[in-house]
Structure 1
Amino acid sequence: MSDTATPVMMPTGPKDDLYNRPAKKTAEPASARTPEPPATDPPAAATNRADAGDDAVPDRYARPPKSDRRKIVDGAFSLALVAAGVTALVVLKNLKEPARPVNRVSPAPLVEVADVTRHVGGLDVLSDGIVVPYRLVNVGAEVGGRVVSMDPALRSGRYVTAGQPLLTIDPETYRLEVKRLGAEVRSAESSLAELAVQTENAKASVLIARKDAELAEAETAREERLLQQRSGSQAAVEQARRAELQAKDKLQTAANSLRLLNAQKERLEVQKELTETNLERAQLDLDRTVVTSPVDGVIVTSDVERGSQVQQGGALFTVSDSDKAEVRTNLRVKDVAWILAHPPEGTRATDRTPGLSAAAAAYALPSVPVTVNYELAGNTYTWRGTLSRVDGAGLDERTRTVPCLVQVDDPQSVSMAGGSGALPIAAPPTLATGMYVNVQVHTEPAEALLEVPEEAVRPGNRVWAVRDGKLMIVELPVAAIVGGKVLIPPTGAALQPGDRVVTSPLPSATPGMSVRVAGDPTNEGGGAKAEGGGDAAAPVPGPSGVAAAEGESPAQTAGG
């Protein structure tokens, strides 16, 4: 036998056909080959192999296909494994002991609380404001002329007193007018004196003429009696009558003269009175040539100089009244409503003016006390004032607030309310115009307010109150926040002095939930809350936070 091995034919088709076609045998003589029946549908691998031709690369890693017996054995083994797994699963499921229910509990949340207390004192409404003049007096020239003198104090920023002469207008023209009118008054007085003499003479003439007329009338009567007695003549009677008429005519003339003199007297008296009036006016104009300050205050503007010509009614200077001062501040409508509802005793408008009408009282504010504070270099200076009135007829259209005026009766009465005073500075001498200040309007509610810490108030003005270990949510009618305290009126609030409110955060707060109060000795040994929502007082949680089941210790439950 030859040592050389018979060469093996390697497959030449693609790798996809390695397991779908039989391996080729060694070359045999053509006579020894058994003819194979022709395949009606050759596999795709054979087609691909025929297409590849002689250039195909032989696959060295192809393995021979399994035999039919091996395939049957593998399938039976797989089915046996699946059946064994299913059987083991069923057995384990039947052997497993049913789990007993475990009551899981969690401790009630621990919270920090603060007490609800009564507020001592009233309630201050806080705002800011600016100092404005109490009065600005514009002084003008009441007479025209040239300014001949001016006081050095007539300068902007200088302080002047009421009645202090500040400038003089040339008085010569007005002095001459006074002199002329004085002479006319004296002339009228002389004329009246002369007329008085004439009147007395006329009165005497009237008396004489009346007596003469009476005598003439008596003489006529006597002559008529003589004529009736045939002792007289007709000529004598006629002569007597003529004399009587002449006497009566003289009486009438004298009476007319007296009445004329009386009319002249009335005319002279009216003329004298008119002249005296003109004299008073001239004297007033003469006095007005000296211009004085109408009030105590500070000169704001000066529009005149010495030697300038001024016209009647022309502006001279403006002075600010310093006897009082006012602070303009804007209050919220809510604050004004609180002030109207809680004014101190005796400060209402109707208390000050009992006969005030209802319409006037609707626009009046109570004269509640006000403290005006001014900060300067770390120091706080204060003035005392009162709420005076509304500055205008309604709300400010831009800010929707109520503009109000605070009146300070003594702007120079200042006191230091806070600060160290270490800086070598002087206190403001007065409440000057233009200062930006803080305003405290003091009110006194009829009932004492309640205090709640500001950190206890939640969004929506709600607090979490704790009563008997249960949480309750209370909505507050907040009046104000002062110094970290929320002030609430007792009327309408569900809180009472001594109630406790939560100041620490809670992940979720529901009414009626159990809570533990920090530092409360009653919380020891209890306070657990079941997950289902009810309290679990009997089971005690073990180290793992799981309550022990009935008949087992906490250690066994935790370890199992």
Structure 2
Amino acid sequence: MTQSTMPPSTTPPSTMSKSTMSKVASIISPLIVVAVSLLGYVVLVAQKKAPGQKVQADSISVVETIPVTLFNGHIEIKLDGTVTPLREITLSAEVAGRVEKKSPRCRAGKYLAPSSFILKIDSQDYDIEFNSLIKDLEEAAVVLKELEVEVINTNQLIELAEEDLKLQQKEMKRIQKLRERNVATGSQLDKANQILLVSKRSLEMQRNQYRLLGTKRFRLYRSGEKILLRLKQAYLNQQRTTITSPVRGIIVKDHVEQGEYVKKGDPLVTIEETSAVEIRCNLKMDELYWIRQQSTSNQKKVSIKSLSKKKAKKRVKKKTDSFETFNKQVADHERLRKKLDQLLAQVSGDNFDDIHRPLMRLVEDFLKEESSLAVNMSDASGQISDVSLKQRISYELPLTPVKVTYQLNDEIFSWEGELSRFDGAGLDEKTRTIPCRVIVRHPLQSSEANKKGLPALIRGMFVNLIMEVQTDIPLYQIPIQAIHPGAVIWVAKKGKLHIQPVSIIRQTSEYALVRVEKNKIMAGDNIIISPLATVEEGLPVKVKGVQ
């Protein structure tokens, strides 16, 4: 039996060498990539340091400069605003009734002049009431005249009673003398005494009647005054049936039509006043700061002096107000009494038919005159006398002129206005600005008044506002091209460039303003305005035009 034996298998040399090389390459390749990356990083870092900071000793940059100057002009504040009406007035019915007549111009969008007729409420009821009170007043005047006649008659009766009493007193004395001589009897003396008592009683009754007539006359006078006051109320109701425009303006909305019945207090028409307009705008806190800086100490002193005088006048006025009110009430009654007396004096004899004409003159005079008990509006001037001037300035805006402009195509129209008041109190929570109002008192008087098609300032127009504010704070003016990122400037001193940070408080498209006392620059310092490729502190520079 024969066995065959196979030789052991072995790997060829070529296969082993390829596997070893593959393993070595997989280890070396990452090392090569890392080395190349490190080399590239070193090269980039070296290139980054070289261009900006390297200064060649043999080259000096030539620069243009401008000297630092003090700011002597005015600070210009530019804002945007929206035109709003100065006020909207809703006229309401002061009396009830049916709308009898309505003006054709009583429509939304129509313009009204002051005192223009708007509508009329039926006044028949008020006319009847007025005429009825006239008759009541005539009747009261007739009763007063009758009372006057009765007073005259009573005076005559008193005179007769006094003469009769004197006669009875003489008769009594004569009877007493006769009785002493036993000529007259006791019954005759008693009868004479009885007649004397009757005369005294008659005289006293006439005197009592006279005093009663005086009281009755006083009551009738007060009744006449009451009728006059009711007559004045009726007259006012008559006048209130005719509705006219109290201002110059445009009707925004008409609420009623002809033939409708309106109650007292119902709205009739809403009018937007156009004699003046307001512009709603918003101020930043720094802009408000500059506006308030324009107030001078002299103006404050004058205001304090005038304010103290007004306080003194008000203290004196408070003490006399109560006495003046009482005196005016007495004067009202006395004046009415005199007028009624004059009226009665014009009626002669028993002829009362002509009393109507003088009575109408009395009523006319009474209706035209203002009541002395009306509220005194002399103090309603808007002046504040209960707080100090400092507090007032803190919560009010100084009157600052404002130029209002509006662009229509290629035309620019402008108006003159003034910053008048805050629109409420405090900052707006969303914009963090202060709402303000600018008033334009003549919205039709534009600087371009000679041009046709001139627009008036009307509600909703977007306008531009320019305020020029003077300040006493010393400021430096720096051209805007000299301000570099980071709020720094380049100052050329003794052939070297110095980087100087500045604190900018106001910046426009042309210049920036910085405070004098809060910056390390001086008036006359040369500020570099030309661009430079590389900048560092102490860089050698040469000012252009300087040898």
TM-score by length of 2: 0.70
2:504 equivalent in structure 1? 478
Question: Is the CA contact 1:125–1:442 (under 8 Å) kept in the aligned structure 2?
Answer: yes
SS of 1:329's equivalent in the other structure is strand
Cα offset for 1:159? 1.2
Of 360, 364, 370, which residue of structure 1 is paired with 2:396?
364
Cα offset for 1:316? 0.9
SS of 2:135's equivalent in the other structure is helix
1:373-422, Cα deviation, whole Å (9 max, x unpaired): 112213322111111111112222222211111111111111249xxx9x
**Residues 57 and 307 (structure 1), Cα distance of their counterparts in 2 relative to 1, 3 Å cut:** closer
Question: Is the CA contact 1:452–1:485 (under 8 Å) kept in the aligned structure 2?
Answer: yes
1:426-465, Cα deviation, whole Å (9 max, x unpaired): 331x211211111112211125643211122234533222
1:149 equivalent in structure 2? 101
1:464 equivalent in structure 2? 490
**Residues 219 and 59 (structure 1), Cα distance of their counterparts in 2 relative to 1, 3 Å cut:** closer
1:547 equivalent in structure 2? none
Cα offset for 1:223? 3.9
Matched, 1:438 2:426: no
**Residues 319 and 226 (structure 1), Cα distance of their counterparts in 2 relative to 1, 3 Å cut:** same
**Residues 114 and 139 (structure 1), Cα distance of their counterparts in 2 relative to 1, 3 Å cut:** same
Question: Which amino acid is 1:382 matched to?
Answer: S
Question: Is the CA contact 1:350–1:361 (under 8 Å) kept in the aligned structure 2?
Answer: no
1:193 equivalent in structure 2? 145
Question: Is the CA contact 1:188–1:268 (under 8 Å) kept in the aligned structure 2?
Answer: yes
1:386 equivalent in structure 2? 418
Of 136, 148, 168, which residue of structure 2 is paired with 1:184?
136
2:331 equivalent in structure 1? none
**Residues 400 and 284 (structure 1), Cα distance of their counterparts in 2 relative to 1, 3 Å cut:** same
SS of 1:198's equivalent in the other structure is helix
Aligned length, in residue pairs: 422
Comparing both structures, which one devotes a greater share of its residues to helix?
2
Q: Distance in 2 between matches of 1:211 and 1:141?
A: 67
Higher relative contact order (CA 8 A, sep 6+): 2
Question: Is the CA contact 1:349–1:361 (under 8 Å) kept in the aligned structure 2?
Answer: no
Q: Distance in 2 between matches of 1:271 and 1:54?
A: 154
Q: Distance in 2 between matches of 1:210 and 1:401?
A: 93
Matched, 1:320 2:272: yes
Of 420, 427, 442, which residue of structure 1 is paired with 2:454?
427
| Structure 1 alignment gaps of length 5 or more | 1-50, 61-102, 523-560
Cα offset for 1:241? 2.3
SS of 2:504's equivalent in the other structure is coil
Question: Is the CA contact 1:349–1:365 (under 8 Å) kept in the aligned structure 2?
Answer: no
Question: Which amino acid is 1:453 matched to?
Answer: P
Question: Which amino acid is 1:486 matched to?
Answer: A
Cα offset for 1:195? 1.2
Moved more, 122-131 or 497-506: 497-506
Cα offset for 1:163? 0.7
**Residues 252 and 350 (structure 1), Cα distance of their counterparts in 2 relative to 1, 3 Å cut:** same
Question: Is the CA contact 1:202–1:254 (under 8 Å) kept in the aligned structure 2?
Answer: yes
**Residues 498 and 390 (structure 1), Cα distance of their counterparts in 2 relative to 1, 3 Å cut:** same
Of 501, 509, 527, which residue of structure 2 is paired with 1:501?
527
Larger Rg over CA atoms: 1
**Residues 471 and 54 (structure 1), Cα distance of their counterparts in 2 relative to 1, 3 Å cut:** closer
Q: Distance in 2 between matches of 1:434 and 1:134?
A: 13
SS of 2:163's equivalent in the other structure is helix
**Residues 137 and 388 (structure 1), Cα distance of their counterparts in 2 relative to 1, 3 Å cut:** same
Moved more, 282-291 or 474-483: 474-483
Q: Distance in 1 between matches of 2:301 and 2:253?
A: 36
Question: Is the CA contact 1:467–1:500 (under 8 Å) kept in the aligned structure 2?
Answer: yes
Question: Is the CA contact 2:474–2:515 (under 8 Å) kept in the aligned structure 1?
Answer: yes
Q: Distance in 2 between matches of 1:243 and 1:458?
A: 127
Cα offset for 1:214? 3.6
**Residues 385 and 348 (structure 1), Cα distance of their counterparts in 2 relative to 1, 3 Å cut:** farther
Question: Is the CA contact 2:99–2:260 (under 8 Å) kept in the aligned structure 1?
Answer: yes
**Residues 119 and 52 (structure 1), Cα distance of their counterparts in 2 relative to 1, 3 Å cut:** farther
Question: Which amino acid is 2:544 matched to?
Answer: G
**Residues 477 and 217 (structure 1), Cα distance of their counterparts in 2 relative to 1, 3 Å cut:** farther
| Structure 2 alignment gaps of length 5 or more | 15-54, 308-383
Q: Distance in 1 between matches of 2:191 and 2:306?
A: 87
1:476-517, Cα deviation, whole Å (9 max, x unpaired): 34332234211234444443443222333564443xx14314
Cα offset for 1:155? 1.4
Question: Is the CA contact 2:64–2:528 (under 8 Å) kept in the aligned structure 1?
Answer: yes
Question: Is the CA contact 2:492–2:541 (under 8 Å) kept in the aligned structure 1?
Answer: no
SS of 2:149's equivalent in the other structure is helix
2:370 equivalent in structure 1? none
SS of 1:432's equivalent in the other structure is coil
Question: Is the CA contact 1:126–1:441 (under 8 Å) kept in the aligned structure 2?
Answer: yes
Question: Which amino acid is 1:481 matched to?
Answer: Q
Question: Is the CA contact 1:479–1:489 (under 8 Å) kept in the aligned structure 2?
Answer: yes
Q: Distance in 2 between matches of 1:276 and 1:392?
A: 46
Of 438, 444, 453, which residue of structure 1 is paired with 2:479?
453
SS of 1:196's equivalent in the other structure is helix
**Residues 457 and 257 (structure 1), Cα distance of their counterparts in 2 relative to 1, 3 Å cut:** same
Cα offset for 1:116? 2.5
Cα offset for 1:157? 1.6
Identity of aligned residues (%): 29
Question: Is the CA contact 1:344–1:444 (under 8 Å) kept in the aligned structure 2?
Answer: no
Structure 1 residues 43-192: aligned runs within 5 Å = 53=7, 105=57, 107-192=59-144
Matched, 1:395 2:427: yes
Question: Which amino acid is 1:391 matched to?
Answer: D
Q: Distance in 2 between matches of 1:353 and 1:324?
A: 32
Question: Which amino acid is 1:303 matched to?
Answer: H
SS of 1:399's equivalent in the other structure is coil
